[in-house]
Amino acid sequence: MTAATTRPGDRRISPVFLGIVAVMAVTGWATWTGFAEQPGLAVFLFVTAAWVVSLCLHEYAHARTALHSGDVSVGAKGYLTLNPVKYTHALLSIVLPVLFVIMGGIGLPGGAVFIERGRIRGRWRHSLISAAGPLTNVLFAAVCTAPFWLDALDGVPRDVRLALAFLALLQVTAAILNFLPVPGLDGYGVIEPWLSHGVRRQVEPFAPFGLLFVFALLWLPSVNGVFFDAVDAILRGLGIGDVDSYCGFELYRFWQTDAFCSVSS
């Protein structure tokens, strides 16, 4: 089955999403040109809007892959319009991830769209549907870091560089967390079709608590250190230093000041 089995209106891009993209474009332009009187506010709006766009694309990737795998119900549910309001768990998919970015600078995995798995045949299709979301974060991270690993930063304003570094950090953290094989996360969805029926039944009750379990672990200093060491190593491999990602986070939280980042600039 393909997108042809859905109504054209089910695939029309939502004005809500277009409005978020417009905010991202305008604030990105303001950050690049230095037009804004308060550059930190422009960076805050740019990164937040770009993060919400990536969340919408993450959920869209799940839905679009499910559509081409046989679940035509995703069209009627509004998942193909990129409208964040249409997602099954708007609070988990949009509100909480944005709050976690503001509070802690970490990319929280959003709640997945509701897929009618009974319509889909084949274990590989089920795995691909689950993998499609975090793979979108991987692609988004590659785009954000392209100026760094292509050595094309000449002429790129400092605030834009820092904003992209922080946005890349969010995408990398989101991809890693999403790919963890923990019930309730996309990583478990990738391997679940290959597990025995008995194992799936035993694990199923824990799925609603998987994300809470992961974040409880991240509160442990030793686990938190290993996690962010891995994130920093990936970012360094993509050409982004620790100072850029750290100062990008500080610039994003414009209501606070950091003398180190001011001196580093």
Would you state the structure tokens that stand for residue 88, as one six-digit string? Answer: 């099954």
Contact 183, 191 (CB under 8 A): no
**What is d(CA 60, CA 145) in angstroms, rounded to the nearest whole number?**
22
Active site residue 204: no
* Neighbouring C-beta atoms of residue 138, cutoff 10 Å: 16
User: How far from chain centre, in Å, is Cα 23?
Assistant: 18
Residues 6+ apart with CB under 8 A from 72: 1, 5, 6, 119
Query: Distances from the Cα of 156 to the Cαs of 111, 144, 147, 191, in angstroms?
Result: 35, 13, 9, 41
**Dihedrals φ, ψ of 179, to 5°?**
-85, -5
Q: Considering the candidates 37, 59, 192, 250, report the single residue annotated as catalytic.
A: 59
Residues 6+ apart with CB under 8 A from 174: 54, 58, 97, 107, 108, 109, 134, 137
Please identify every residue annotated as catalytic: 59
